[in-house]
Amino acid sequence: MWRVLTALVFLVSMAGVPAAAGEAEIAGARGAIDGQLKAFLADDESGAYAFAAPNITRMFPTVQSFMSMVEGAYMPVRRPQSYAFGKSEQMSPTSVIQQVLLVGPDGKNYEAVYTLELQPDGLWRITGCSLRASNALST
């Protein structure tokens, strides 16, 4: 009986640990997205590229090739009028999915869903971004 009670107390006390840890991971992932969006807005192309994970930098090995891709397919991310973080989910201790609601340069609403991974150096980097028009109302 004592072992069961001890195990139950341990499980109850640990219930808050993953959520607290998840909050730190999500904050780190959001910081990477925010940093990249601010770099785009400041025309700091190298700064924006620095937030790309190795899988992205392998596909786009130069800042110029990366920016050509972004400007060709992700203009609402490249030049948002505004943005706000939406839903997020920690998929593992080193992987986060983050929704970002944007108002593009055309004044239309978009939803970007980012995937991010924690790198060996302890920094979060963007591994992908899916963009679609949104029916959400901008505020």
pLDDT at 6: 33
In this predicted model, which residue has the larger pLDDT, 50 or 139?
50
Please report how many Cα atoms fall inside a 13 Å half-sphere around the Cα of residue 113, on the Cβ side: 8
Phi, psi of 118 (to 5 degrees): -75, 125
Plot region of 107 (φ>0 → left; ψ -120 to 50 → alpha; else → beta): left
Contact 116, 88 (CB under 8 A): no
Domain boundaries, the chain: 2-133
Q: Average pLDDT for residues 26-47, to the nearest whole number?
A: 98
CATH number (3.90.25.10, 3.40.718.10, 3.10.450.50, 1.10.1060.10) of 2-133 reads 3.10.450.50
Q: Summarize pLDDT for 96-107 with one digit per residue, the tens.
A: 999 999 999 999
